[in-house]
């Protein structure tokens, strides 16, 4: 029993003081800003610089990914929004009314990612309307990535501030 207590004293299992939570947060936002509509952004940069086959590969991959995203949205979009809203509302209730720290942490990751998902659907629709013209692709994907990075910066800042508040209040209260 003493070993069990020592291990859990060393590895804090609360969300905001757990290193794994911060690693997951960094990976989520790094991935979200790198993979723009399922296309790695370095592929967008290479296609813009070189053109030719790289641009055609980008157009093909984007056509496949936007078609897939829009198909899923048209077929199951309402259900996805309903289930996502249910979970996010549950995280809010559990996190802030019942003080469940993991629910707060999941909401602080999930809510901004839901905004990114809605933004991705909007960008996919705009790209489809543009007819996947290369200049429009570069412009829209760059703008999309910039907005995703802005959402990520605000999200990380808010999560860090809330996490520090929670850690300091628990440390002061001795809980």
Q: What is the mean pLDDT of residues 143-171?
A: 93
Q: How much is the pTM?
A: 0.86
On whether residue 30 sits in a domain, the answer given is no
Does residue 8 or residue 128 have the better pLDDT? 128
Note the pLDDT of residue 140. Answer: 93
* Whether pLDDT at 132 is above 90: no
Residue pair 105/15 in contact by the 8 Å Cβ criterion: yes
On whether residue 111 sits in a domain, the answer given is yes
Task: Quick: pLDDT tens for 37-76.
Answer: 999 999 999 999 988 899 999 999 999 999 999 999 999 9
Q: What is the mean pLDDT of residues 10-28?
A: 81
Beta partners for 35? 40
On whether residue 139 sits in a domain, the answer given is yes
* Whether pLDDT at 12 is above 90: no
Task: Quick: pLDDT tens for 78-122.
Answer: 999 999 999 999 999 999 999 889 999 999 999 999 999 999 999
Note the pLDDT of residue 13. Answer: 56
Residue 67: domain span: 55-163
On whether residue 88 sits in a domain, the answer given is yes
On whether residue 48 sits in a domain, the answer given is no
Residue pair 88/114 in contact by the 8 Å Cβ criterion: yes
On whether residue 171 sits in a domain, the answer given is no
40 sits in which H/E element: strand 39-40
On whether residue 21 sits in a domain, the answer given is no
Domain count, the chain: 1
On whether residue 2 sits in a domain, the answer given is no
């Amino acid at each position: 029993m003493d070993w069990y207590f020592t291990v859990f004293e060393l590895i804090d299992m609360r969300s905001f003081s757990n290193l794994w939570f911060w690693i997951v947060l960094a990976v989520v936002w790094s991935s979200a800003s790198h993979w723009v509509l399922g296309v790695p952004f370095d592929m967008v940069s290479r296609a813009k610089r070189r053109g030719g086959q790289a641009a055609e590969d980008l157009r093909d991959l984007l056509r496949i990914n936007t078609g897939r995203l829009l198909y899923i949205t048209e077929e199951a979009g309402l259900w996805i929004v309903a289930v996502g809203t249910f979970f996010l509302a549950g995280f809010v209730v559990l996190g802030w009314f019942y003080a469940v720290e993991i629910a707060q942490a999941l909401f602080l990751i999930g809510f901004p990612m839901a905004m990114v998902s809605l933004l991705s659907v909007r960008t996919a629709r705009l790209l489809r309307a543009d007819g996947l013209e290369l200049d429009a692709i570069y412009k829209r994907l760059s703008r999309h990535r910039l907005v995703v990075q802005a959402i990520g910066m605000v999200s990380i800042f808010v999560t860090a501030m809330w996490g520090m508040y929670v850690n300091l209040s628990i440390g002061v209260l001795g809980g």
